[in-house]
Structure 1
């Protein structure tokens, strides 16, 4: 072990002592043109890899990706399966939907398909968008507590000005509120926006930058340091704050299932599923999980990738609560609440060829459908919770993966 560390030390020291290492450079421009794509592939000289990533259809449609990526070299193909249909009785989504899921995990689509069929047989899932809002949180450090307090007073008097400046950058975003958090001589401003049918993260960043610049130009107290986002937003990180608030769309979904349907589709009982839910909730508390759910991340990742959403948002979107209890009608009442569903039906990756096609399969492409998309996704997460818990209770979980994944 000592020899290994010694070798590493001398090798690293030698590397640091040399001049800057220079490698053959990729084309400096990040633009997407056929010429630059070919130059990038010349750097690698790997014709088989090039043929796999830059197939004829990708070459023909590469212009579609201009605003979504830099240093483009091709596309990665993922298998897309269809689950459902699932009946959704929502405030905004009211139909049967077939669900496109992009994944490389065998057994996943089959599991969601089973849950979707169960929900539909039970009369559908009730869904409701509870809150909406996308945040960006600038942070300001002051020399002393008095300066921080004076700054907060100034901000509270200029909310209307900040709202006007922020909204001047977008035709669609609306600044709903500015909350203030103070930690010693540090001040955090929580800008919360309504973003209509866009997921809205770029929109919110640009709007907050305009407000941030206004603050820096007009504040009577100059901060020692200031940053556009100081990590209070929870952007792409699991956090407990959203359990009582929102980032994106906060959605809840519920279904009441007769005992006979649980036996028919899941081969178990409502009593077993309720008991499992109680034990899983305790297990989650023991390991410090934020919220309690079986596997929201599976549905979210597969759905986000298929439908052109920001897949990194799964880190925060997978926070939520699943609950099983006795239905007032007998059988099982199952519900999910997801406070961080970050989806849109315009902008971002939603209009890329494959992703647009998946939204069209859902009938939810374009303006006017973002809330419905969030409700559908909550219902799909509910379907996944029912299916996987049913598999654990029936003792089928391992058998299903052994059959489908090997």
Structure 2
């Protein structure tokens, strides 16, 4: 048998499955027969549609696990949130806190609802929250906000692109009027231009009030996009509503120095005694851990440096009716720790991509509204406070997990709570 190189060794299980080429061809050949299972033509929620969908599903699973009486009674409430509805998935929700936040917009001791199936997660955020509260609370500031959509236009030549840009820069007031005609809450805040040869990317940045705003911004930008196609003195050969420059639901480096959603910074000063009492380690050990893991993040090509923002944000977003896919972009940022002049620990986090809202989306669904109500953060005028709470929660998680690694408690906690 010939020797395998390293890449072949890694894929040896795959090679063993494909040794029979006839079998491989049969498995991978397209099949055009009619599917055995079909969806209802209508995606909407009606009792008739739900019944039809379950005609095919009852032989596969227990209907009551997804469509219990509550899910059936509340079905109409989900019509603007989902298509082809068959029921609800129940996730356990835990409470962490109290977390004291001293923010420009959030001023309270918050009990934080977190929806997760990961044991030890709520316990970790609970410990970090109580530590921060014992230190007098986290300071938090919403630094900036804006949601973007980035249409792209392609021309024959760079000169055409230049003429297009010369026209665009004279049209801001028109674009603003057209965009804001589609929404009572969204405001066009800025337009940036990025030229790449014969392609022009326009970055439309909106303030979206108390909504997270992705749909709002898409609709408003589409109206401007149509206006441009009708009125531009230079006709593009190709044009698309989004050129993937916005960073929508993708980790991206641009917003590390700018913003998408809400940009928040939060910090806390911890005495040495509090670090030892709650985390069973020292400020020096935590700072050293931060230094070494920053190098690790650089070696792995990470965007920003943090331990696990995604844990907090995924559980928080799901519990509170946020768009969970936005964790992909929201979970980047910077965590930094220093030994203070008094020998304690200074810790801060900055998150530039918090996509949160307190109206719209899933925020008014029964369970999600209940979670926002626990914090007193449902409805108009609360989104900025929600962002400051989210950043403070991430700070609590960073302190707790770094402390666990430094005290060699990380694995022990998972063994105790997850088994």
TM-score (norm 1): 0.97
Q: Does 1:222 align with 2:238?
A: no
Q: CA deviation at 1:46?
A: 3.1
Q: CA deviation at 1:327?
A: 2.1
The residue that corresponds to 1:300 in the other structure is 313
Aligned pairs for 1:18-167 (under 5 A) are 19-46=32-59, 48-167=61-180
Q: Tell me the distance in 1 between the aligned counterparts of 2:33 and 2:169.
A: 50
Q: Tell me the distance in 2 between the aligned counterparts of 1:253 and 1:4.
A: 58
What is the count of residue pairs matched by the alignment? Answer: 403
CA RMSD between the two structures: 1.1
The residue that corresponds to 1:5 in the other structure is 21
Q: Tell me the distance in 2 between the aligned counterparts of 1:355 and 1:162.
A: 35
Please point out which of 240, 253, 263 is paired with 1:250.
263
1:112-169 superposed Cα distances (whole Å, 9 cap, x missing partner): 0000000000000000000000000000110110100000011001111011000000
Q: Tell me the distance in 1 between the aligned counterparts of 2:298 and 2:248.
A: 23
Q: Tell me the distance in 2 between the aligned counterparts of 1:191 and 1:10.
A: 49
1:247-289 superposed Cα distances (whole Å, 9 cap, x missing partner): 0000000000000000000000000000000001011001110
- 3-state secondary structure, aligned to 1:325: strand
The answer as to whether partners of 1:335 and 1:382 remain within 8 angstroms in 2 is yes
The answer as to whether partners of 1:140 and 1:187 remain within 8 angstroms in 2 is yes
Q: Does 1:196 align with 2:209?
A: yes
The residue that corresponds to 1:343 in the other structure is 356
- 3-state secondary structure, aligned to 1:181: strand
The answer as to whether partners of 1:308 and 1:355 remain within 8 angstroms in 2 is yes
- 3-state secondary structure, aligned to 1:38: helix
Of residues 111-120 and 1-10 in structure 1, the stretch that sits farther from structure 2 once superposed is 1-10
- 3-state secondary structure, aligned to 2:165: helix
The answer as to whether partners of 1:37 and 1:73 remain within 8 angstroms in 2 is yes
Please point out which of 341, 363, 367 is paired with 2:380.
367
Gaps of 5+ in 2: 1-15
Q: Tell me the distance in 1 between the aligned counterparts of 2:79 and 2:417.
A: 38
Q: CA deviation at 1:63?
A: 1.0
Q: Tell me the distance in 1 between the aligned counterparts of 2:214 and 2:151.
A: 14
Q: Tell me the distance in 2 between the aligned counterparts of 1:47 and 1:95.
A: 47
- 3-state secondary structure, aligned to 1:230: coil
Q: CA deviation at 1:6?
A: 3.2
The answer as to whether partners of 1:26 and 1:43 remain within 8 angstroms in 2 is no
Gaps of 5+ in 1: none
- 3-state secondary structure, aligned to 1:147: helix
Distance 1:39-1:159 versus aligned 2 partners, 3 A rule? same
Aligned pairs for 1:223-238 (under 5 A) are 223-238=236-251
Q: Tell me the distance in 2 between the aligned counterparts of 1:28 and 1:198.
A: 31
The residue that corresponds to 1:268 in the other structure is 281
Q: Tell me the distance in 2 between the aligned counterparts of 1:47 and 1:288.
A: 43
